[in-house]
Structure 1
Amino acid sequence: MRTTVASVYIECTDESDRFLPEGPRWLTVQERPALVWVNIQLSATATEGEINVHFPGTDGSGDTGQPCPGRPGFVLPLEGEDQVLAGVDKALRLCDLAEGAWTDPLATVPDDNPRTIINDAEIVPGGKAVVFGTKDTKFDTEARLAQLYLYTVDDNRISVLADKQVCSNGKVFVSDALGLILYDIDTPTRKIVRYRLDVAARTATLDGVAVDLANQVGSPDGMRGCGDGTAIVAFYNPEFAEAGRAVRFNLTTGEAIEEWLTPGSPRVTCPLLVKRPTGVKLILTTATEGMPADMRAKCPNAGCLFIADTQFTDCPPQEAVRVPV
């Protein structure tokens, strides 16, 4: 299996900025290309997080951290510039990253349990719907309080697709002759499962296990499709390791094809493929969440963002949420 070592791309100076970065996306902000990601919360006890904006090719002095009205689980680009759809605590909102302005909630998940908050999400092809999930902040594998949801843009409606999850994470869509497949990770199951998604019927029908991750080190977190029937999965390792890992899998055979390593940062949270002038790059977010002080001292790059070369000549175009004008 091919191994590529990633290098530090963004080194956050404040420890709070390293706590739980996730969900990187490539957007246009203030008419410039920008890398945007969420820091779900700023410390173990924080009830708010940030959306971070970095402008590649600059010294970072113009980068921003947009405070959130809660803990953001994801940001997804809207058509055009500056605006994102964000899942914050239990609500979906729009945020203008240029103006720092938030809308009132567009919709709220039908779950009032104080332990569950919105986590990862992906845009359904075509941009008129989003699949997202929640996580139990206590990570209780017996209570199974989290759920998988469908949000449709035109009517601001949220429906439950699957229940009894713990920590809903990476999602990838693939189309075949039978329709739309949703590949989904509920972290503690250590599996990528396959659903048949019917947006019109607002249903997701379980269609088996695509990839068994039980033999991998760490817990599967974020996931991104590569556009060729494979996907890259980030692994969050709660134990000390010299490096973290993201692994590319064949979604049909389950085979592990290649891996990327993040030296000095074992808790990898999310991948992103982006086409740059020098080729297709892999960006990886990592975290310090829950890391004891002695382990943190041995993991100097924990919470940094990494970048690595790939052998891809292209990557899937990024979908955008198409809100009504």
Structure 2
Amino acid sequence: MSREVRRFEARAASADAYLLGEGPVWDAARERLLWVDIDAGQVLEGRLVGDSVRVDRGHEFGETVGAVVCDRDGGLLVAGRRGLLAVKGGDEPGRPSGAGDSSGNGAGGERAYLVDLVPEGKDSRLNDGACDPAGRFLVGSLALDDRHGQECLYRYETDGTVTAVDTDLALSNGLAWSPDLSTMYSVDSVPGTIWARAYDAVTGAYGERRVLLEISDGTPDGLCADVDGNLWIAIWGAGQVRCHSPEGEHLATVEVAAPNVTSVAFVGPRLDTLLITSARTGMTREETARHPDAGRVFLADVGTRGLPTSYWSGPVSG
């Protein structure tokens, strides 16, 4: 007998609305939020201030930015349109990143282009990414033309080499790992599939994919896991985040006042607040009028805690 689905409601928390907000990350050492506006080519740094999200700094890249993660020194690894870039860190733990930069638009630290991932001549861009528990960076791609089933999930190894984990995806998206680190979850948005596979965080060995869940009433986008191993999945087109058990059972729904919900992360010192990003790109004027909070960052209290962010452990220069 299935359990009753719990219901929650998110609250808008950012002053600004973003074109395609994505990929939230909680940097515990600096109590810092990171996320991207893909279409604006921007990485945002901010923090929680009471019940709101405040932006401290923005990094402009002049191209789409699919994802951002950070290393233990506060440096950033950024998925640009086709490859990866590093932004040198150096902020002191506990000091708000960008403190003293009143513009909120600082260029940040020294930058280095690390590696191309999308092959020359392939009309694709990099999309969502995350670090595995050992600090390797995984990032997927999506097609910018009408190709189907040729997109990749890449893994940037700590020695600077690249592994193609998957090469047959339609639109690679969210990534998460189970609390015991033995299972990796990944999203292929176009078919609406959440995959699960065995994963060895120490060696990096991984098993064959299996279908955990298929979603047809909306498009699964980003996701994260909580301390109980449940998955919180952003559903583009449905205005919801849905929680599913490791067996796929629907446990909870978070209603969001934005139809295109993009990603989720547990944030805050206790990792007990669910942060939700959304998008307004592609919406008509009428749709935007009906959903004025579309594109904003949202927060929700859902009665559980998330898992600590894994820091990037790879190279900081090309």
So what's the TM-score if we normalise by structure 2? 0.84
**Which residue number in structure 1 is paired with residue 101 of structure 2?**
none
Alignment of 1:285-324 (within 5 A): 285-312=277-304, 314-323=305-314
Deviations 1:97-130 (A, max 9, x none): 7561353222211522352111111211122x12
Alignment counterpart, residue 63 of structure 1, candidates 49, 56, 67: 56
Paired AA for residue 224 in structure 1: C
**Which residue number in structure 1 is paired with residue 213 of structure 2?**
211
Following TM superposition, by how much is the alpha carbon of 1:55 offset from its aligned partner in structure 2, in angstroms? 3.0
Check whether the contact 1:11–1:301 (CA below 8 A) recurs between aligned residues.
no
Tell me the SS of whatever aligns to 1:188: coil
Check whether the contact 2:170–2:190 (CA below 8 A) recurs between aligned residues.
yes
**Which residue number in structure 1 is paired with residue 144 of structure 2?**
137
So what's the TM-score if we normalise by structure 1? 0.82
Same amino acid, percent of matched pairs: 24
**Which residue number in structure 1 is paired with residue 25 of structure 2?**
25
Q: CA distance change for structure 1 residues 136 and 213 in 2, over 3 Å: closer, same or farther?
A: same
Paired AA for residue 218 in structure 1: G
Alignment of 1:250-265 (within 5 A): 250-251=245-246, 253-263=247-257, 265=258
Following TM superposition, by how much is the alpha carbon of 1:193 offset from its aligned partner in structure 2, in angstroms? 1.1
**Which residue number in structure 2 is paired with residue 46 of structure 1?**
none
Q: CA distance change for structure 1 residues 324 and 92 in 2, over 3 Å: closer, same or farther?
A: closer
Question: For residues 308 and 175 of structure 1, what CA distance do their matches in structure 2 show?
Answer: 21
217-226 vs 204-213, greater mean Cα deviation = 204-213
Paired AA for residue 243 in structure 2: R
Paired AA for residue 246 in structure 1: V
Following TM superposition, by how much is the alpha carbon of 1:172 offset from its aligned partner in structure 2, in angstroms? 1.3
Tell me the SS of whatever aligns to 2:289: helix
Check whether the contact 1:136–1:167 (CA below 8 A) recurs between aligned residues.
yes
**Which residue number in structure 2 is paired with residue 223 of structure 1?**
223
Alignment of 1:148-163 (within 5 A): 148-153=153-158, 155-163=159-167
Higher share in strand: 1
Question: For residues 53 and 10 of structure 2, what CA distance do their matches in structure 1 show?
Answer: 20
Check whether the contact 2:240–2:254 (CA below 8 A) recurs between aligned residues.
yes
Q: CA distance change for structure 1 residues 61 and 303 in 2, over 3 Å: closer, same or farther?
A: closer
Following TM superposition, by how much is the alpha carbon of 1:159 offset from its aligned partner in structure 2, in angstroms? 1.7
Following TM superposition, by how much is the alpha carbon of 1:196 offset from its aligned partner in structure 2, in angstroms? 3.0
159-168 vs 199-208, greater mean Cα deviation = 199-208
Tell me the SS of whatever aligns to 2:256: strand
Check whether the contact 1:23–1:271 (CA below 8 A) recurs between aligned residues.
yes
Question: For residues 213 and 4 of structure 1, what CA distance do their matches in structure 2 show?
Answer: 20
Tell me the SS of whatever aligns to 1:24: strand
Following TM superposition, by how much is the alpha carbon of 1:35 offset from its aligned partner in structure 2, in angstroms? 1.6
Aligned residues: 295
**Which residue number in structure 1 is paired with residue 46 of structure 2?**
54
Q: CA distance change for structure 1 residues 273 and 202 in 2, over 3 Å: closer, same or farther?
A: closer
Tell me the SS of whatever aligns to 1:300: coil
Question: For residues 50 and 160 of structure 1, what CA distance do their matches in structure 2 show?
Answer: 26
Following TM superposition, by how much is the alpha carbon of 1:65 offset from its aligned partner in structure 2, in angstroms? 1.8
Question: For residues 198 and 111 of structure 1, what CA distance do their matches in structure 2 show?
Answer: 28
Following TM superposition, by how much is the alpha carbon of 1:324 offset from its aligned partner in structure 2, in angstroms? 5.5
**Which residue number in structure 2 is paired with residue 111 of structure 1?**
119
Check whether the contact 1:145–1:164 (CA below 8 A) recurs between aligned residues.
yes
Tell me the SS of whatever aligns to 2:66: strand
Backbone CA RMSD of aligned residues:
2.6
Deviations 1:262-287 (A, max 9, x none): 12x1100000112347x711110000
Q: CA distance change for structure 1 residues 202 and 317 in 2, over 3 Å: closer, same or farther?
A: closer
List runs of 5+ in structure 2 lacking aligned partners.
90-97, 99-106
Q: CA distance change for structure 1 residues 302 and 88 in 2, over 3 Å: closer, same or farther?
A: same
Following TM superposition, by how much is the alpha carbon of 1:230 offset from its aligned partner in structure 2, in angstroms? 0.9
Q: CA distance change for structure 1 residues 169 and 157 in 2, over 3 Å: closer, same or farther?
A: same
Tell me the SS of whatever aligns to 2:222: strand
Paired AA for residue 109 in structure 1: L
Paired AA for residue 317 in structure 1: P
Paired AA for residue 278 in structure 2: T
**Which residue number in structure 2 is paired with residue 45 of structure 1?**
none
Question: For residues 236 and 320 of structure 1, what CA distance do their matches in structure 2 show?
Answer: 27
**Which residue number in structure 2 is paired with residue 182 of structure 1?**
184
Question: For residues 228 and 246 of structure 1, what CA distance do their matches in structure 2 show?
Answer: 17
